[in-house]
Chains A and B, each alone.
Chain A
Amino acid sequence: MVVTTTDSVLETVETVYQSDSRRVLATLIRLLGDFDVAEEAMHDAFRAALEQWPKEGVPGNPRGWLVSAGRFKAIDGLRRQKRFDSLDEEGQQVDVAVIDSAAWADAESVEDDRLRLIFTCCHPALAFDAQVALTLREVCGLTTEEIGRAFLTPATTLAQRIVRAKAKIRDARIPYQVPAPAELPERLEAVLRVVYLVFNEGYTASSGAALTRHDLSAEAIRLGRLLVELLPAPEAVGLLALMLLQESRRAARTSPSGEIVLLDDQDRSLWNRAQIAEGSRLVRTALESRRFGPYTLQAAIAAVHAEAPEASATDWAEIVGLYDALLRLDDSPVIELNRAVALAMRDGPEAGLAAIDEIDRRGDLKDYRLVHAARAEFCRRLGRTTDALAAYKKALVLTRQEPERRFLERRIAEIGR
């Protein structure tokens, strides 16, 4: 026991809350078998710490103390509920000495608790938007108000989603466990999808005035790091790399007045070198595993951009090759569109235009604003102003993003001159 002043103890409780409340919650869910009971127990435990630590000192293993205290409070509460008419009142103080340590002794279980929590929140039997909300609430500790603001969704809607998801976990008996090796790849895919959506929601807000909502991206990167620490699968590493490499360009991708700056026109001295170095290193690790997937390949593409000292020095041949590999894993028209853009850079705008015509022929992306924006860009470079103008106007109708709208309007005005 360390004897300290009350103020510094309160500060310690706050620090432990920041660093460890999610771990405590994750273990309490396992021990108590219910999200809501565990959440209440965790808050009770921190309340007990606020009362007891100033008097008794900060315990040597604060997290262990909190888990034991939370468990004790929850069991005590259940017991009292069962015999509310009983006369013997139990002592209010938590006596850590009498709490069985079995729950805490198994260090491996405790480490796995955070993974259990992540996999349970991202269980594919839950609706996707519920997976996202639940992960941000339970794994990241965001409030429903914070999540609501970030997703431009009323907090009440989110609260309802979370309540429903917890009810399904309980009633359909979704187990609190890390999936078996046979199920792991698919289940990990679901987790990565949630993390990447959170990142993208922060990076390119799908609607609204602000182009970036930094907090969500930071939260996604934190989640990505946690996942890599707990389960260093190649695709988890690849996703973390991808997020870091995209994030590295944040300062350069909007002008001080909030206008979009395209990759080619970005001031590369604004790129975050530390994030690029870490991202590139992680990409190499993931690629060397030879068991990588689409996130790693996208990260590899981002790394090629990041490593070019200027736009004209970009290795477009390498990028086209990586898109080819990506298309073999996932033949989505959006990837095909990105490949068309890379192709235009390697072989000229005619080649890009031909690739887009091919996508159009299948009618896959006719309402996707970026197809029209890309077509417009190629036509503009070829001097086909009428076609460029028509395509920019189509893109303008389809965009819901304020900075993008201004960008397109600027282009239209430039051509019109």
Chain B
Amino acid sequence: MKYLCLVYLEQDKLHAVPDRECQACGDGFRKSGLLVAAEALEPIETATTVRVRNGKMSITDGPFAETKEQLAGFYLIEARDLNDAIQAASKIPPAREGSIEVRPVRQLNP
């Protein structure tokens, strides 16, 4: 069974835990065979929301805002830039029903 462990932090606590500690945790998980993938994310200001309605894509600044929508899955993709990432996001089927939040991965600085 795979589990997704989601990390939530208040804006001013984004860097409260040192990157090297997170890196070490990931390394430890990897060694014990626990880890599938782990990444830190850039802050919410870098988020872009992609939706597709009636076959037409809409792109908006910011994270998804509908409180009724819940996190239902994730795709970790490798894209050249935000435009490519948006194009890929618009092809994810639930984009038709809900929203896909596209957020860049942040490199840890151990």
Contacts and interface: CB of A to CB of B under 8 A. Distances in A.
A, B co-complexed: yes
Interface of A: 124-128, 130, 164, 167-168, 171-175, 177, 179, 183, 186
Contact of A168 (B46, B59, B86): B46
B60 A172 contact: no
* A130, A164, A172, A183 interface centre (most CB from chain B within 10 Å): A172
Contacts of B97: none
A130 B62 CA distance: 12
Nearest to B81: A175
A168 B59 CA distance: 14
Given A124-B59, A125-B59, A125-B61, A171 B83 contact: no
B37 to A, nearest CB: 20
Contact of B82 (A127, A130, A167, A175): A175
A130 B61 contact: yes
Contacts of B95: none
Given A172-B104, A183-B83, A127 B62 contact: yes
Interface of B: 42, 45-48, 57-62, 80-83, 86-87, 102-104
Contact of B61 (A126, A179, A183): A126
A119 B32 CA distance: 47
A27 B83 CA distance: 20
* A124, A125, A164, A186 interface centre (most CB from chain B within 10 Å): A125
B86 A125 contact: yes
A126 B83 CA distance: 12
Given A125-B61, A126-B61, A186-B57, A164 B45 contact: yes
A183 B80 CA distance: 16
B50 to A, nearest CB: 9
A49 B69 CA distance: 56
Nearest to A170: B46
A172 B83 contact: no
B58 to A, nearest CB: 8
